[in-house]
Amino acid sequence: MPKDSGIGASTKRREDVRFLTGAGNYTDDINIHGQAYVHFLRADVAHATINSIDTSGAADMPGVLRIFTGADFEAVGGLPCGWQVTDKHGQPMQEPKHPVLAHGKIRHVGEPVCAVVAETYAQARDAAEEIVLDLTELPAMVDMKEAVKDGATKVHDDLTSNLCYDWGFVEENKDAVDEAIKNAAHVTTLELVNNRLVANPMEPRVAVGEYSRSDDMHTLHTTSQNPHVIRLLMGAFVLGIPEHKLRVVAPDVGGGFGTKIFHYAEEAFCTFAAKAVNRPVKWTSTRSEAFMSDAHGRDHVTKIELAMDADNNFTAIRTETYANMGAYLSTFAPSVPTWLHGTLMAGNYKTPLIYVNVKAVFTNTVPVDAYRGAGRPEATFQLERVIDKAARERGVDPIALRRQNFVTEFPYATPVAVEYDTGDYEATMAKLEEIADIGGFAARRAASEKNGKLRGLGVNCYIEACGIAPSNLVGQLGARAGLYDAATVRVNATGSISVMVGAHSHGQGHETSFPQVISEMIGIPEDQIDIVHGDTSKIPFGMGTYGSRSLAVCGSAMVRAAEKVINKAKKIAAHLLEASDADIELKNGQFTVAGTDKSVAWGDVTLAAYVPHNYPLEDIEPGLEETAFYDPANFTYPAGAYACEVEVDPDTGKVTIERFSAADDFGNIINPMIVSGQVHGGIAQGIGQALLENCSYDENGQLISASYMDYAMPRADDLPFYSVDHSCQTPCTHNPLGVKGCGEAGAIGSPPSVVNAVIDALQSGGKNVAHIDMPLTPSRVWAAMNNA
Residues contributing to the site for another protein (CB under 8 A) = 10, 12-13, 15-24, 26, 28-29, 31, 122, 200-204, 252-255, 257, 284, 286-288, 506-509, 672-677, 680-685, 707-709, 713-717, 719, 721-724, 746
The number of CA neighbours under 13 Å toward the Cβ of 227 is 32
Q: Which is nearer to another protein, 241 or 531 (CB)?
A: 531
Closest CA to 174 of 85, 88, 300, 303: 88
Least spacing, CB of residue 295 vs another protein, in Å: 16
Distance CA 288, CA 545 (A): 26
Least spacing, CB of residue 673 vs another protein, in Å: 5
Q: Which is nearer to another protein, 288 or 763 (CB)?
A: 288
* 39 phi/psi in degrees, rounded to 5: -120, 130
Distance CA 345, CA 561 (A): 36
Least spacing, CB of residue 782 vs another protein, in Å: 23
Least spacing, CB of residue 335 vs another protein, in Å: 24
Least spacing, CB of residue 676 vs another protein, in Å: 4
**Three-state DSSP string of 568-629:** HHHHHHHHHHCCCHHHEEEECCEEEECCCCCEEEHHHHHHHHHCCCCCCCCCCCCCCEEEEE
Beta bridge partners of 324: 361
Q: Which is nearer to another protein, 86 or 288 (CB)?
A: 288
* 162 phi/psi in degrees, rounded to 5: -90, 5
Q: Which is nearer to another protein, 205 or 455 (CB)?
A: 205
Distance CA 242, CA 19 (A): 35
Q: Which is nearer to another protein, 442 or 708 (CB)?
A: 708
Q: Which is nearer to another protein, 510 or 767 (CB)?
A: 510
Determine contact, residues 544/510, Cβ cutoff 8 Å: no
* Coil/strand/helix, residue 258: coil
- The crossing angle, in degrees rounded to 10, of helices 376-394 and 398-405 is 120
Distance CA 430, CA 694 (A): 34
Closest CA to 725 of 638, 641, 669, 664: 664
Q: Which is nearer to another protein, 13 or 734 (CB)?
A: 13
Closest CA to 129 of 37, 46, 42: 42
Q: Which is nearer to another protein, 98 or 279 (CB)?
A: 279
Closest CA to 711 of 394, 313, 290: 290
Q: Which is nearer to another protein, 22 or 595 (CB)?
A: 22
Least spacing, CB of residue 313 vs another protein, in Å: 36
Measured between its terminal Cα atoms, the distance across the chain in Å is: 54
Beta bridge partners of 462: 640
Least spacing, CB of residue 370 vs another protein, in Å: 16
* Coil/strand/helix, residue 286: coil
Query: Residue 389: how many CB atoms within 10 A of its CB?
Result: 21
Q: Which is nearer to another protein, 287 or 564 (CB)?
A: 287
Least spacing, CB of residue 679 vs another protein, in Å: 8
Least spacing, CB of residue 22 vs another protein, in Å: 2
Q: Which is nearer to another protein, 122 or 442 (CB)?
A: 122
Q: Which is nearer to another protein, 334 or 507 (CB)?
A: 507
**Three-state DSSP string of 148-184:** CCCCCCCCCCCCCCCEEEEEEECHHHHHHHHHHHHCC
Distance CA 635, CA 399 (A): 27
Least spacing, CB of residue 21 vs another protein, in Å: 5
Least spacing, CB of residue 707 vs another protein, in Å: 5
* Coil/strand/helix, residue 470: coil
Determine contact, residues 374/258, Cβ cutoff 8 Å: yes
Least spacing, CB of residue 563 vs another protein, in Å: 30
Q: Counting Cβ atoms within 10 Å, is residue 380 exposed (0-12), middle (13-18) or buried (19+)?
A: buried
What angle is formed at CA 250 by the lines to CA 240 and CA 479, rounded to 5 degrees? 55
Distance of CA 722 to the CA centre of its chain: 22
Least spacing, CB of residue 284 vs another protein, in Å: 8
Least spacing, CB of residue 28 vs another protein, in Å: 7
Q: Which is nearer to another protein, 156 or 260 (CB)?
A: 260
Q: Which is nearer to another protein, 411 or 440 (CB)?
A: 440
Strand pairing report for 48-54 and 132-137? antiparallel
